[in-house]
């Protein structure tokens, strides 16, 4: 069964460093998403991506964040200068269409020290 | 403010019983509704989707939607200890512009099935 994959599973970085989180969405899906979940809190939408451009972004997704689809399979989230409060689980998801089921990857646990 | 509300629990049910999980949402224009299961430290796993009023059954799971009351529920029949997890209600709500919808999650209800 096709699934969303994410790497790395755990990333530890120092405050102010750049990190890139990687995702491979399900191959026939057209919409891609990033969410984050701070420990003990709810899953929060960050950004959606369709047709090689951002379709929506939340207030959390400020200028420190960017997304890219560098090739036909990968979808990346970059945080330019990490802050302590960026420590969270980051989930990638994909769907066949808008308002369709979204399937989540296993997540990347980001720890900023 | 677009919200999805769930009782955080914990909800404890004995093995074999029916677990009933509820969710309300604020946006009357919401299009689609999902239940995800999340084990501790893991990612949300889609278990049910529902798009129109009424009931939808899949195995031991039944999702119920009432758009007039802005209410979604999930019933788990014959609950098993392996069902112990946090259940997240997620609603596709109107976002920034016309035709724009994004998934908004509730905080989740923690279910504990007692053997």
List pLDDT tens digits, range A3-15. 999 999 999 999 9
Q: Which helix (H) or strand (E) holds B26?
A: none
State how far the Cα of B108 lies from the Cα of B7, in Å rounded to an integer: 7
State how far the Cα of B111 lies from the Cα of B85, in Å rounded to an integer: 5
Q: For residue A91, what are its two tokens?
A: 């989930």
- Ranges of beta strands (E only) in chain A are 5-7, 10-13, 19-24, 31-37, 44-50, 53-57, 65-68, 75-79, 88-95, 103-104, 108-112
Residues of chain B contacting A104 with CB distance shorter than 8 Å:
36, 43-46
Nearest-Cα distance to chain A for B110, in Å, is: 12
pLDDT score of A75: 97
- Quote the mean pLDDT of chain A: 95
Say yes or no for a CB contact (<8 Å) between B92 and A89.
no
Using an 8 Å Cβ cutoff, are B22 and B8 in contact?
Answer: no
pLDDT score of B57: 98
Per-residue pLDDT tens for B11-55?
999 999 999 999 999 998 888 999 999 999 999 999 999 999 999
pLDDT score of B8: 84
- Quote the mean pLDDT of chain B: 94
Nearest to A43 among B32, B44, B101 (CB): B44
User: C-alpha angle with apex B96: B94 to B101, nearest 5 degrees?
Assistant: 35
pLDDT score of B88: 98
In the structure, what pLDDT confidence band is assigned to residue A1 with cuts at 50, 70 and 90?
confident
Per-residue pLDDT tens for A98-111?
889 999 999 999 99
pLDDT value at A58 more than 90: yes
Q: Which of residues 71-100 of A touch B (CB under 8 A)?
A: 89, 91, 98-100
Using an 8 Å Cβ cutoff, are A22 and A6 in contact?
Answer: yes
Per-residue pLDDT tens for A69-106?
988 889 999 999 999 999 999 999 999 988 899 999 99
Using an 8 Å Cβ cutoff, are B3 and B26 in contact?
Answer: yes
pLDDT score of A2: 85
pLDDT score of B96: 72
């Amino acid at each position: 069964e096709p699934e969303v994959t994410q790497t790395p599973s755990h990333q530890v970085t120092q405050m102010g460093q750049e990190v890139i989180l990687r995702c491979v969405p399900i191959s026939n899906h057209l919409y891609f998403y990033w969410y984050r979940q701070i420990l003990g809190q709810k899953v929060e939408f960050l950004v959606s991506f369709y047709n090689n451009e951002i379709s929506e972004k939340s207030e959390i997704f400020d200028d420190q964040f960017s997304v890219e689809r560098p090739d036909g399979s990968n979808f990346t989230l970059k945080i330019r200068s990490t802050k302590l409060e960026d420590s969270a689980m980051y989930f990638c998801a994909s769907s066949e269409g808008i308002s369709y089921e979204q399937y989540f990857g296993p997540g990347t646990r980001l720890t900023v020290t | 403010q677009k919200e999805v509300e769930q009782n955080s629990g914990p909800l404890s049910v004995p093995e074999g019983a029916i677990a009933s999980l509820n969710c309300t949402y604020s946006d009357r224009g919401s299009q689609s509704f999902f239940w995800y299961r999340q084990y501790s430290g893991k990612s949300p796993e889609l278990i049910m989707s529902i798009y129109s009023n009424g009931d939808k059954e899949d195995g031991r799971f039944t999702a119920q939607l009432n758009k007039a009351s802005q209410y979604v529920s999930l019933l788990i029949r014959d609950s098993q200890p392996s069902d112990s997890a946090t259940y997240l209600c997620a609603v596709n709500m109107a976002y920034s512009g016309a035709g724009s919808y994004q998934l908004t999650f509730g905080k989740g209800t923690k279910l504990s099935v007692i053997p």
